[in-house]
Amino acid sequence: MKTTKRFLLITIMMVLSIQTMQAQTYEWQKPMQSTEIYKGTITKKYGAGSITYFKDGSEPEDLRSTYTLEELYSWLEDDAIQQYGSNIVLRQFKANKNDRDDPHYYNTFDMYFRAYTVSAIVATPAPPQKQVPKANPLTQALNKALQNIREGSRLALDQIRVVSGTDKEDFKDKIIEVLLDNGYKVVAKEQLEKLYKEQQDQLSGLYNENTTVQGNNFSAVGYFVNVKVTETSIRVQVVNVSTGEYEGNATVNF
């Protein structure tokens, strides 16, 4: 009795295992993915031999072949590559078997052909999207603060404050690099101070005529840029030199 139950259990497990294998769904049987581009459809018919029924009652002559889904898919894929090129994938693959395709009727026998009609959607993988690098916090803050400042304007770095352990001069160079890349003209603050001193000397009558500062040298600078860095954020302020008004103010948190 125990042996019989064990045999039945093993038989059931084998049947379930076979059904699971038969129920396997391949990628080429699934629908198109959102990352794929539709190219078209392809349908082909593949012959698989014939069966002849004799009218005198003789045993039928069965010359038919049976093909697996994998074999049919392989043939369809080859045909699709010839038609659409190699960079393709097949989706929603389907196969139908017809055992009475193109029948032939004669006086002494009838002949029926087996054919497999297979079809699939042809798609190509979408080209990978270019990853646009995200601007670093410094660039984000500068771009936001300067969004209303005309390209080509002259800027001067006024106050630069950084956290302990940060090389201030190196950070200053990075600011200048971003400003120049964005089309602004950057004037060294040290040069402005020198121009200002020379202007004051000119007003007092103590100046060298060969190095006279022109009136528009100092006023040509339109904006001061102040940058303050904390442990958690970067703040950028843009001050109009002529009016002293804030033209831009932006804070970007890390």
Residue 198: name the closest of 217, 181, 178 by CA: 217
Distance CA 180, CA 186 (A): 7
**Averaged pLDDT, 236-242:** 92
pLDDT band at 216 (very low <50, low <70, confident <90, very high): very low
Question: Which position has the token pair 């090129």?
Answer: 85
Q: Is 43 exposed, middle or buried (0-12, 13-18, 19+ CB in 10 A)?
A: exposed
- Considering only CA atoms, which of 108, 100, 118 is closest in space to residue 51? 100
Nearest to 84 by CA among 36, 32, 39, 27: 39
Are residues 145 and 236 in contact, defined by beta-carbon separation less than 8 angstroms?
Answer: yes
Structure tokens at 80: 């699709």
- Separation CA 229–CA 235 (nearest Å): 6
At residue 208, does pLDDT exceed 90?
A: no
pTM above 0.85, yes or no: no
Q: Rounded distance, CA 189 to CA 154, Å?
A: 12
Instruction: Yes or no: say if 93 and 73 are a contact pair by the CB < 8 Å rule.
Output: yes
Whether the CB-CB separation of 30 and 92 falls below 8 Å is answered with yes
Q: How do residues 121-170 score in pLDDT, each as one tens digit?
A: 999 988 877 776 777 999 999 999 999 999 999 999 989 999 998 999 99
DSSP 143: H
Average pLDDT over the chain, rounded to an integer: 85
Helix (H, G, I), strand (E, B) or coil at 12: helix
Q: Is pLDDT of 175 > 60? A: yes
Q: Which of 142-146, 208-212, 235-239 has the lowest mean pLDDT?
A: 208-212
* pLDDT at residue 187, as a whole number: 87
Q: What is the pLDDT of residues 9-48, one digit of tens each?
A: 556 655 554 454 455 789 999 999 988 999 999 999 999 9
pLDDT at 222 over 90: no
